[in-house]
């Protein structure tokens, strides 16, 4: 409804522009105001200074053309190699992007802007990083920027655990090694990446390797190796993928070790593969900052046919060894009997003892015995019985 007299009431956190025919006429502070509008030409633009930022589309031109507006605002320009930390009443409210111009309402509180040269100071001070995280200022929502500014998270937060090593890359260039801990790096105007490496001992399984021996026997071998990274920078400079390099180095060394020996040689010297693989791989790994702690063959699997043949060979060998032992024992027994006979031939007493021993064995199998003619008769009967059996 059209009225000749317009009333405007502004709260403590509000400010307004008096616009006549859509042109700025004057600034209106808080309070109650009345205006005559005979031709219905007056409108108002109302601002909430609690938003802190004066982000009106025509801000730059109006601040330049109207000193009355400029007096109400802080006008700060951030260099291309700087960021600004905006504090209101000593509380961090946001981060101003490089190259930005920001307008802040003076009446919103005690305002200050801290400038940081990110061209020289890439790392974020740990105390400042803690404050930024606590105030949830490390996100695109709190960035003070224009529409043309690339929207990125201002700080790259990096946490390296105690069993890791980190390498810092700035715009693709390796810059430094990082020890375990928490880090923050300004990522505005640059690409920040951190590559993490495992500093603990790592087990590598080289399994299911089908390899021909020198005598063309196909073996399937499973091998295990333990390695530890001690120089991450050297590894990054010389190797793209550390785990892939370790695997292929061990794999090629294993094939070389097996392919230069026959099956019999490998079975006779079971440590040959382990020692050869270590000898072939150890120096290559040390050259890229990796220590080979242990390497060993877990399994050597023969084809089914070869396994049967090998079992038959082993069985034949063991059977031959058993026959040799049997013949040796028979020879020893015959020799012992021969020696005993010669001793009894020349010694009647030994002959008599042997007779008594024979009598004792016969008596063990008899439940009762009747003796006629005394001991001599018994002995004569025993000798006659033995002679008849013979």
pLDDT of residue 159: 92
Once rounded to an integer, what is the mean pLDDT over residues 172-190?
A: 89
pLDDT of residue 36: 86
Closest by CA to 213, choosing from 282, 315, 306, 294, is 306
CB-based contacts of 131, cutoff 8 Å, min separation 6 = 92
Return the residue matching tokens 């205006």. Answer: 35
239 shares its domain with 283 = yes
pLDDT tens sequence across 16-72: 999 999 898 899 999 999 988 888 889 999 999 988 888 877 888 888 888 988 999
What SS3 state is found at 78?
coil
Biggest distance spanned by C-alpha atoms of the chain: 173
Does any domain span residue 17? no
Contact between residue 57 and residue 101 where contact means Cβ atoms under 8 Å apart: no
The first and second tokens of residue 342, run together, are 């010669």
187 shares its domain with 119 = yes
Q: How many CA atoms lie within 13 A of 373 on its CB side?
A: 7
224 shares its domain with 139 = no
CATH number at residue 235: 3.30.479.30
pLDDT of residue 324: 79
Please list, residue by residue across 174-206, b when 16 or more beta carbons sit within 10 angstroms of its beta carbon and e when fewer do. Answer: eeeebeeeebbbbbbbeebebeebbbeebebeb
289 shares its domain with 272 = yes
pLDDT of residue 224: 93
Q: How much is the pTM?
A: 0.65
The first and second tokens of residue 91, run together, are 């509380």
pLDDT of residue 126: 92
147 shares its domain with 219 = no
Interatomic CA distance for residues 65 and 366, integer angstroms: 143
pLDDT of residue 318: 67
Once rounded to an integer, what is the mean pLDDT over residues 8-14?
A: 92
214 shares its domain with 287 = yes
Return the residue matching tokens 């991450």. Answer: 232
CB-based contacts of 3, cutoff 8 Å, min separation 6 = 37
Beta bridge partners of 299: 222
In 10 A of CB 138, how many CB atoms?
Answer: 18
Contact between residue 212 and residue 293 where contact means Cβ atoms under 8 Å apart: no
pLDDT of residue 313: 62
For residues 231 and 378, which has the higher predicted lDDT (pLDDT)? 231
pLDDT tens sequence across 278-332: 999 999 999 999 999 999 988 888 766 665 656 666 666 767 777 778 778 778 7
> Across the chain, how many H-helices and E-strands are there?
10, 19
Interatomic CA distance for residues 336 and 332, integer angstroms: 6
Return the residue matching tokens 């060894």. Answer: 321
Interatomic CA distance for residues 142 and 149, integer angstroms: 13
pLDDT of residue 185: 94
pLDDT of residue 147: 47
274 shares its domain with 212 = yes
Interatomic CA distance for residues 297 and 327, integer angstroms: 40
Question: What separation in angstroms does the CA of 37 have from each of 4, 6, 28, 44, 91?
Answer: 5, 7, 16, 12, 43
The first and second tokens of residue 249, run together, are 């180095």
CB-based contacts of 351, cutoff 8 Å, min separation 6 = 344
With cut-offs at 50, 70 and 90, classify the pLDDT of residue 388. low
For residues 79 and 356, which has the higher predicted lDDT (pLDDT)? 79
pLDDT tens sequence across 318-377: 677 777 787 787 787 777 777 777 776 777 776 777 767 766 777 677 666 565 555 566
Domain count, the chain: 3
Does any domain span residue 47? no
248 shares its domain with 296 = yes
Question: Percent helix, strand and coil across the chain, each rounded to 5?
Answer: 40, 35, 25
Domain end point (choices 247, 271, 301): 301
167 shares its domain with 109 = yes
Q: How many CA atoms lie within 13 A of 63 on its CB side?
A: 19
pLDDT of 183 over the 90 cut? yes
CB-based contacts of 225, cutoff 8 Å, min separation 6 = 203, 204, 206, 246, 250, 277, 292, 294, 295, 296
Domain hosting 99: range is 77-196
pLDDT of residue 138: 85
For residues 331 and 381, which has the higher predicted lDDT (pLDDT)? 331
For residues 378 and 226, which has the higher predicted lDDT (pLDDT)? 226
The first and second tokens of residue 300, run together, are 């050597």
Beta strands of 187-267 (E only): which ranges?
192-198, 202-212, 218-229
pLDDT of 145 over the 60 cut? no
With cut-offs at 50, 70 and 90, classify the pLDDT of residue 389. very low
Contact between residue 173 and residue 203 where contact means Cβ atoms under 8 Å apart: no
98 shares its domain with 168 = yes
281 shares its domain with 338 = no
Interatomic CA distance for residues 194 and 88, integer angstroms: 33
82 shares its domain with 173 = yes
pLDDT tens sequence across 164-180: 889 999 988 988 899 89
Contact between residue 262 and residue 334 where contact means Cβ atoms under 8 Å apart: no
With cut-offs at 50, 70 and 90, classify the pLDDT of residue 390. very low
pLDDT tens sequence across 246-270: 999 999 999 999 888 888 888 788 7
């Amino acid at each position: 409804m059209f009225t000749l007299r317009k009333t405007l009431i502004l709260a403590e956190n509000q400010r307004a522009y008096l616009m006549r025919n859509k042109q700025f006429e004057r600034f209106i502070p808080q309070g109650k105001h009345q205006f005559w509008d005979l031709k219905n030409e007056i409108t108002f633009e109302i601002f909430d200074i609690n938003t802190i930022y004066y982000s009106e589309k025509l801000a730059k031109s109006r601040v330049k053309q109207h000193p009355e507006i400029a007096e109400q605002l802080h006008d700060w320009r951030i260099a291309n190699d700087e960021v600004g930390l905006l504090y209101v009443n000593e509380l961090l409210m946001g981060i101003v992007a490089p190259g930005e111009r920001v307008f802040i309402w003076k009446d919103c509180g005690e305002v200050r802007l801290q400038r940081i040269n990110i061209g020289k100071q890439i790392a974020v001070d740990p105390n400042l990083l803690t404050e930024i995280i606590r105030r949830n200022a490390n996100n695109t929502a709190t960035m003070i920027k224009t529409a043309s500014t690339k929207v990125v998270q201002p700080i790259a937060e990096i946490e390296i655990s105690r069993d890791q090593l980190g390498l810092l890359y700035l715009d693709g260039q390796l810059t430094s090694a990082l020890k375990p801990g928490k880090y923050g790096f300004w990522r505005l105007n640059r690409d920040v990446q951190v590559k993490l490496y495992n500093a603990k001992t790592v087990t590598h399984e080289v399994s299911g390797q089908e390899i021909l021996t020198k005598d063309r026997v196909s073996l399937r071998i499973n091998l295990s190796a333990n390695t530890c990274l001690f120089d991450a920078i050297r590894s990054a400079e010389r190797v793209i993928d550390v785990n892939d390099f370790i695997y292929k180095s061990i794999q090629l060394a294993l094939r070389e070790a097996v392919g230069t020996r026959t099956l019999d040689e490998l079975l006779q010297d079971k440590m040959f593969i382990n020692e050869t693989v270590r000898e072939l791989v150890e120096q290559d790994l040390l050259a890229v900052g990796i220590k080979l702690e242990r390497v060993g063959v877990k399994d050597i699997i023969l084809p089914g046919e070869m396994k049967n043949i090998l079992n038959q060979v082993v069985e034949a060998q063991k059977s031959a060894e058993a026959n040799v032992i049997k013949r040796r024992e028979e020879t020893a027994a015959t020799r012992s009997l021969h020696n005993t006979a010669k001793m009894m031939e020349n010694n009647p007493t030994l002959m008599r003892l042997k007779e008594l021993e024979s009598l004792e064995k016969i008596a063990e199998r008899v439940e009762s015995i009747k003796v006629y003619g005394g001991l001599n008769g018994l002995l004569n009967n025993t000798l006659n019985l033995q002679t008849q059996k013979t």
